[in-house]
Amino acid sequence: MVLPYDDTYFMKKALQEAEYAFEAGEVPVGAVIVVQDRIIARAHNLTEKLNDVTAHAEMQAITSAANFLGGKYLKDCTLYVTLEPCQMCAGALYWSQIGKIVYGATDEQRGCGVMGTTLHPKTKISGGILADEATSLLLQFFAKKRK
């Protein structure tokens, strides 16, 4: 039996968002927020277009999910994001009390793990889902930028 709605399924949707960012000349990071196997928010990094350091994929997804739910807490939600959240995004996720964070590639420079950002005690976190695909897209982006 194949479960259609697993972590890989939703991370593919986040990767699709990252690809939209790539095409738009943005650092390619994408995110979706899921509740009961339903995607309620999709976003990708828009820091260049919006000229705003706060426009990370996760930040927009949090705002969008809260808007959809009509409440600012995301306790029953899972965030899928192609790159490990930074301090800002992990700090926002702390306030949202999100149920679970699943990320793709680890950010060894600026990820919340290495930075020691505190998550909400009820938030679970795991990484490594489609990490190679997420990393490959980021490497392609930075290689293109250097040309």
**d(C-alpha 106, C-alpha 108), whole Å:** 6
CB of 9 to a copy of itself, least distance (A): 27
* Catalytic-labelled residue, pool 17, 26, 58, 84: 58
Q: Which of 10-18, 34-42, 64-72, 128-136 is the region at the interface with a copy of itself (rule: CB under 8 A)?
A: 64-72
To the question of whether residue 44 is assigned a binding role by annotation, the answer is: no
Among 6, 23, 52, 132, binds a copy of itself (CB under 8 A): 52
**d(C-alpha 127, C-alpha 26), whole Å:** 22
Beta carbons of 86 and 59 less than 8 angstroms apart: no
CB of 93 to a copy of itself, least distance (A): 9
Q: Which of 1-9, 15-23, 89-97, 129-137 is the region at the interface with a copy of itself (rule: CB under 8 A)?
A: 89-97
Is residue 58 flagged as an active site residue? yes
CA of 105: how far to CAs of 7, 9, 35, 119, in Å?
Answer: 14, 16, 22, 18
Query: What six digits make up the tokens of 79?
Result: 């965030």
Which residues participate in catalysis according to the annotation? 58
